[in-house]
Amino acid sequence: MSGLGIFDLSGRAAVVWGGGGAIGSAIAETLGRAGASITLIDQDRDRVEAAAARLRDVSLACLALAGDATDREDCDRLVGQAVDRFGRLDICFNAIGGGAGKVLHPAEDYPIDAWDWILDLNLRSTLYGTQAAVKAMIRCGRGGRVLSMSSVRGQLGINAGYSAYVAAKGAINALTRQWATEWAKYNITANAIAPTFVDTPQVAMLLGDPVFKANLIARVPLGRVGSPDDLAGAVLFFCSDASSFVTGQVLTIDGGLTATQ
Ligand SMILES: NC(=O)c1ccc[n+]([C@@H]2O[C@H](COP(=O)([O-])OP(=O)(O)OC[C@H]3O[C@@H](n4cnc5c(N)ncnc54)[C@H](O)[C@@H]3O)[C@@H](O)[C@H]2O)c1
């Protein structure tokens, strides 16, 4: 295959965990426009239905499912429904997570309830969602793509009370390498993308603080924060045949921030 055909996802089926969220819904559209059938999964029924309606408005094939990715049986049920609907599963995009700005505590006193909440939201959801999806990919026997949302915080500390979030995203980076190693025999690749701040409602309050935003942008060589659209190219690469020989990688998408550290 040559040319842009290596990015074509026609005939493939994807599940997007957190598909009602800002990044999940934007990436679902990217995957759909590349030809994939999409199952959006989110615990917020209204958000996931609204995201699905936006995809259908532009004539993309999609299914919206409500469920809790921190519940293992729910994950198996949701993936089962996706496979029943589209007959196969090729792509698992993990976009559940965040919450860091809501629980800022000094590292030496980081409370265990906040720790558990952030680890469940970011890590357990990614683990259970991926396990359910990969079991289905193995059954389908056509290989597959796992792509997870990490963060630059998986590799960089930040002097702002982020202990649980950095632990969760660091674990996602490590798991990505482990999954790549174990699932290569099924021709399933596992990669992650690690942005700095992406302008979404989840970080709107922080980015709404002009001093915080000016300090942040001053450290980013390309001089701005990211947008969900900035992730689209990397997602298409990692979810398509373009990345057939790439696995276990964590790509920072950060305007050069980590290059300066
Ligand atoms: N926004 C940023 O600046 C930024 C930067 C780096 C990484 N990320 C990562 O990108 C991902 C998406 O971020 P976002 O800004 O789109 O967040 P978001 O809050 O808009 O989307 C997350 C979605 O996950 C859903 N969700 C939460 N818990 C769930 C569960 N247990 N089961 C099912 N659905 C659940 C929420 O309802 C929400 O719709 C997160 O992993 C986040 O850590 C975000």
Q: State whether the beta carbon of 95 lies less than 6 angstroms from ligand 1.
A: yes
Q: State whether the beta carbon of 97 lies less than 6 angstroms from ligand 1.
A: yes
User: Catalytic site residues?
Assistant: 165
**Percent helix, strand and coil across the chain, each rounded to 5?**
55, 15, 30
| Residue length of the chain | 261
Going by alpha carbons, the residue nearest to atom 12 of ligand 1 is 95
* Contact assessment for residue 149 and residue 125, using Cβ atoms and an 8 Å cutoff: no
Q: Which CATH architecture has domain 3-200+227-253?
A: 3-Layer(aba) Sandwich (3.40)
What are 55-111's pLDDT values in tens digits? 999 999 999 999 999 999 999 999 999 999 999 999 999 999 999 989 999 999 999
Q: State whether the beta carbon of 156 lies less than 6 angstroms from ligand 1.
A: no
φ, ψ dihedrals at 111, nearest 5°: -70, 145
Q: State whether the beta carbon of 21 lies less than 6 angstroms from ligand 1.
A: yes
In the chain, which residues have pLDDT < 70?
1-2
Ligand 1 center to 202 CA (angstroms): 8
Give Cα separations from 155 to 42, 168, 224, 225, 227 (angstroms).
Answer: 27, 11, 20, 18, 20
- Evaluate if pTM is beyond 0.75: yes
Ligand 1 center to 24 CA (angstroms): 7
Beta strand 144-149 pairing with 188-195: parallel
pLDDT at 3: 85
Q: How many helices (H) and strands (E) does the chain have?
A: 9, 7
Ligand 1 center to 218 CA (angstroms): 25
